[in-house]
Amino acid sequence: MKKSSLIITTFALASFAFGGAEAQAVVSSTHTSDNKINFTSGEGVVTPPVNPINPDNPDVPNPVDPTDPDNPGTGQDGPLSIDYVSNIKFGEHKITGKNIAYKAKNANPFVQVTDLRGASDGWSLSAKMSEFKSGNKVLRGATLAFKDGVVKAGSSS
- Asked whether residue 6 is assigned to any structural domain, the reply reads no
Question: What sign results for the dihedral spanned by CA atoms 39, 43, 46, 50?
Answer: positive
Per-residue pLDDT reduced to its tens digit, 22-81:
667 777 788 888 888 777 777 777 877 777 777 777 666 566 677 888 888 888 888 889
What is d(CA 109, CA 93) in angstroms, rounded to the nearest whole number?
20
Contact 108, 89 (CB under 8 A): no
What's the pLDDT score for residue 13? 42
3-class DSSP state of 2: helix
Question: What sign results for the dihedral spanned by CA atoms 42, 48, 53, 59?
Answer: negative
- Asked whether residue 129 is assigned to any structural domain, the reply reads no
How many domains does the chain divide into?
A: 1
What's the pLDDT score for residue 65? 75
Q: Could you give the dihedral angle defined by the CA atoms of residues 41, 113, 84 and 57, in that order, rounded to the nearest 10 degrees?
A: 90
Contact 81, 90 (CB under 8 A): no
Q: Is the pTM of this model over 0.75?
A: no
- Asked whether residue 85 is assigned to any structural domain, the reply reads yes
Contact 112, 86 (CB under 8 A): no
3-class DSSP state of 115: strand
Question: What sign results for the dihedral spanned by CA atoms 43, 49, 55, 60?
Answer: negative
Q: Which domain holds residue 55?
A: 41-120
- Asked whether residue 11 is assigned to any structural domain, the reply reads no
- Asked whether residue 73 is assigned to any structural domain, the reply reads yes
- Asked whether residue 155 is assigned to any structural domain, the reply reads no
- Asked whether residue 114 is assigned to any structural domain, the reply reads yes
What is d(CA 135, CA 73) in angstroms, rounded to the nearest whole number?
26
Per-residue pLDDT reduced to its tens digit, 67-101:
888 888 888 888 889 999 999 888 888 888 888 88
Identity of the amino acid at 49 = P
- Asked whether residue 10 is assigned to any structural domain, the reply reads no
